[in-house]
Amino acid sequence: MVPVSAYLILAVVLFGIGAIGVLTSRNMIVLFMCIELMLNAANLAMVAFSRALNVVDGHVIVFLVLTVAAAEAAVGLAMIITIFRNRETINIDRYSILKW
Amino acid sequence: MIDYVSALSIDFGLIVPEITVLVTSFVVMMLACSKKVSSWSSTVTLVGYVLALWFTTRQWGHQGSGFADMVTCDNFGIVFKAIFIVASIIVVFLGHRYLRVKGLHRGEYYALMLVSTLGMMVMANSSDLIVLFLGLEIMSVPLYVMAGMYRRSLESNEAGIKYFFMGAFSTAFLLLGIAFIFGASGTTNLRSIVTDFSYIANSFPVYLYAGVALILIGFGFKVGTVPFHTWVPDVYQGAPTPVTAFFSVAPKAAGFAALLRVFVYGFSEVTILSDVFWVLAVLTMTVGNLLALRQDNVKRMLAYSSISHAGYILVALVVGGADAVAAAIFYLVAYTMFNLGGFGVVTLLETRSGCKSEFNELRGLSKTNPYLTATLALFMFALSGFPPTVGFIGKFYIFSAAMQSGFVWLTVIGVMNSFVSVYYYLRVIKTSFFDEAEGTPVPAVLSPTIIIALVITAVGTLGLGLFPQQLLQLSQAAIFGMP
Amino acid sequence: MSEYLAVLLFAVAGIGIVLITFGISRLLRPHNPYPEKNVTYECAEETVGPSWIQFNNRFYIFALIFVIFDVEAIFLFPWAVAFGQLGLFALVEVTLFLMILFFGLFYAWKKGVLKWV
């Protein structure tokens, strides 16, 4: 059997890739995909723990998280469409009207 | 056939206020479908909130848990739920005319606000990390939309998208933290975590500390503590002003409810947390205040000021213990009153055409609207913590709790920060009272709804300052039976 | 390891069948290339414009509504599997859950989102 630490390392690496992607990428859609990657890394950790500890809670939590992620995706994409209509760009660096 | 209704102790009596808010939000959504009846939405919203508030107060003193021990009904949660509902009611009054003027008065606004309030109420009532997470999301997703709902305004678009990305980013941290805690303890229930804490801490220290740190980062984003505060000023400035008023109060209170529940109750035995919160509190107070000094936009100044107020409340988390939690609850009630009042005046001033809440636009306000200027001055005094307003009493309780537990330096830094903050709050008063306007200033037109909002907040600010005893007893009673 | 042997055989057979069918058709078919055959396939119609275009915004709105109902199924499957043991109360709860989602759909319908303008 694959040890739980292997899954965890994979989850943390995926989470790290997502986090770095959020901090460096300029395209909103890519940014968005990176955030989904982070959420799914957390899901992976949850399932791995659930399997290792032999409790089913982790699986149920993943269902809930998927739903939340879908709701967030719906709202996020709708907002991206709205601002694209106004500004004709989804490069996040161009969104800097508000600053000190 | 499994009798899971009693096995999981499913008890809808515990969540009557939440159900009320949910049903109201549906009704408002349906009203919003039709042009003819959509103007009823604000009234229906108010009725729903008042009903929910009544049901909430009826729960006072009850102690119970249900839904597989995921939902807890206790005084702590009830006080917070009352704060959210009262804040929402004030925001409904405060935003009414602004939204009409800007063409944003639509049923969806109220439906989103109701759903967001529902999420906060779930957060305040949860004794399980996953329910807490779900509550946080139910609260946040409507807030993203509300921030960006002024679709024609580029600032509002930008505020919405920034809030969305920062919020989703922080959610991921929170979720990974919960996963680690789940891995360490095999459960997400705070009560079981507290019971088995010494076992967890001895067997899986790495998972535990990683989880606690990640959860702290997640909530740190939500309440706007300093290393994670960068979104706050942008979102507060860009969002429509009544929405900003709502942001600055209700989600912040919900975030602190969760922080108190998780860190003061759940992980109270992680001793290093006190030091971490010490650093966070000092950073948040100081950076918030220093950056507020150089702002030329009143909304942005109030955003930084709300960061520094989060710092004062973090002092209570450093101290921990019953007195500090009571002081934090007291401060949150007080902050709700005077901060909503401050934003109320700003909202009113923004209904003048072409107004962007720059400091210059306050000039000569005392000539055109003397009473309004006096009210603004009252809120500014309360924000800076002058007696006899409730701002002074709130800070006094927090810092005296810190002194009693021996956090002398923290108290000194906090009091010094309060002195610094006086400068930028008094700048508002000075500009509006003593500076001459260029050209003829446009008077702000008062509407009945905003007068109601300002009267409630002003009476709260002064009244609670003069007679703080009842509120203090209430907040002390609220901590009994935590979680 | 012996359980994986079946998987291996299955994979070999799967790949083999594809290769064999392609090979047979290559041997049997006539060889007659002409330019229309290399055109992008679009339901037997001639293509209009390049295929690298942006999708119409409206598709996104349908996709958004789809996502919600897509995820709804996650909660229906476990309930359906355990239906026999759960009984009436769960049925009511699931109905409520669906009702809440249909409120959303009704709202979208009333707002004219479902119309292709």
Cα–Cα distances in Å, from B215 out to B94, B175, B176, B274, C87? 34, 8, 8, 15, 38
- The Cα B410–Cα B249 span in angstroms is 24
Contact B207, B184 (CB under 8 A): yes
pLDDT of residue B26: 92
- Decide which of C49 and B445 is more confident: B445
- pLDDT tens-digit readout, A38-70: 999 999 999 999 999 999 889 999 999 999 999
Longest dimension (CA), chain C: 66
pTM of the model: 0.90
Neighbours of chain A (3+ CB pairs under 8 A): B, C
β-strands B71-73, B64-66 pairing: antiparallel
Dump pLDDT digits (tens) for B329-349: 999 999 999 999 999 999 998
| Separation of alpha carbons B316 and B283, rounded Å | 15
In chain C, the residue whose alpha carbon lies closest to the alpha carbon of A75 is C64
Q: What is the mean pLDDT of residues B380-402?
A: 93
B55-114 tens-digit pLDDT: 999 988 888 888 888 998 889 999 999 999 999 999 999 999 999 888 888 889 999 999
Q: Is the CA virtual torsion B375, B377, B382, B388 positive or negative? A: negative
| B472: number of Cβ within 10 Å | 17
Q: How many angstroms separate the CA of residue A8 from the nearest CA in chain B?
A: 10
Which ipTM was obtained for this model?
0.95
Q: Per-residue pLDDT for B451 more than 80?
A: yes
Dist. CA B402–CA B400, nearest whole Å: 5
Residue B297 has phi, psi (to 5 degrees) of: -115, 130
Say what the pLDDT of residue B63 is. Answer: 83
Q: Return the pLDDT at B358.
A: 85
Residue type at A90 in one-letter notation: I
Place C103 in a pLDDT band, splitting at 50, 70 and 90: confident
Tell whether B12 is within 8 A of chain C (Cβ): no
Interchain contact A90–B (C-beta under 8 A): no
Q: List the single range of B4-18, B98-112, B450-464 with lowest mean pLDDT.
A: B4-18
Q: Chain-wide mean pLDDT for chain B? A: 91
pLDDT at B43: 93
Average pLDDT over chain A, rounded to an integer? 88
pLDDT band of A14, cuts 50, 70, 90 = very high
Please give the backbone phi and psi of residue B351, each rounded to the nearest 5 degrees, phi first. Answer: -75, -15
Question: Tokens standing for B145?
Answer: 């939309």
- How close does chain A come to B183, measured CA to CA in Å? 5
What are the b/e assignments for A55-88, b being 16+ CB within 10 Å?
Answer: eebbeebbebbbbbbbbbbbbbbebbebbeeeee
Residue B399 structure tokens: 């810092």
Q: What is the pLDDT of residue A61?
A: 92
A25 compared with C51, residue with greater pLDDT: A25
Q: Cα–Cα distances in Å, from B442 out to B100, B270, B350, B365, B448?
A: 19, 56, 11, 9, 19
Q: Say whether C107 and B29 touch across the interface (CB within 8 A).
A: yes
A7 has a chain B CB within 8 A of its CB: no
pLDDT at B354 over 70: yes
Q: Which chains touch C (3 or more CB pairs under 8 A)?
A: A, B
Domains and CATH numbers, chain C: 2-110 (1.20.58.1610)
β-pair partners for B72: B65
Concatenated DSSP letters of B110-138: HHHHHHHHHHHHHHHHB-BHHHHHHHHHH
Task: Please tell me whether the peptide bond between B388 and the residue prior to it is cis, using omega within 30 degrees of 0.
Answer: yes
Q: Is the pLDDT of residue C61 over 80?
A: no
Predicted confidence band of residue C20 (pLDDT cuts 50, 70, 90): very high
Q: Tens digit of pLDDT for each residue in B14-58?
A: 899 999 999 999 999 999 888 777 788 999 999 999 999 999 999
Percentage with pLDDT > 70 across chain A = 96
pLDDT exceeding 90 applies to what percent of chain A?
Answer: 49
- The set of residues, in sequence order, having a beta carbon less than 8 Å from that of B159 and lying 6+ positions away, is A98, B147, B148, B234, B235, B236, B237, B238, B239
Which tops the pLDDT comparison, C50 or B34?
B34
At B365 the pLDDT is 85
Phi-psi region of B248 (alpha: psi -120 to 50; beta: other; left: phi over 0): alpha
Please tell me the distance from the alpha carbon of residue A43 to that of residue A63, in angstroms, as a whole number.
Answer: 9
pLDDT of residue A37: 95
CA-closest candidate to residue A92, choices C97, B466, B419, B158: B158
For A81, the closest of C57, C67, C68 (CB atoms) is C57
For B345-390, list the strands marked E by DSSP. Answer: none
pLDDT in tens, B122-153: 999 999 999 999 999 999 999 999 999 888 88
How confident is the model at residue A44, as a pLDDT?
95
Q: What is the pLDDT of residues B214-248, one digit of tens each?
A: 999 999 999 999 888 989 999 999 999 999 999 99
**What are residue C96's phi and psi, to 5 degrees?**
-60, -45
CB atoms within 10 A of CB B218: 24
pLDDT at position C3 over 80: no
DSSP for residue C51: S
User: What domains can be seen in chain A, in order of their start residue?
Assistant: 4-93 (1.10.287.3510)
B163-182 per-position pLDDT tens digit = 999 999 999 999 999 999 99
How far A52 CA sits from the closest chain C CA (Å)?
22
Residues of chain B in contact with residue A32, where contact means CB-CB under 8 angstroms, are: 165, 168
Nearest Cα of chain B lies from the Cα of C104 at a distance, in angstroms, of: 9
Q: Is the pLDDT of residue A100 over 60?
A: no
Instruction: Answer whether B179's CB lies under 8 Å from A45's CB.
Output: yes
Does pLDDT of B412 surpass 90? yes
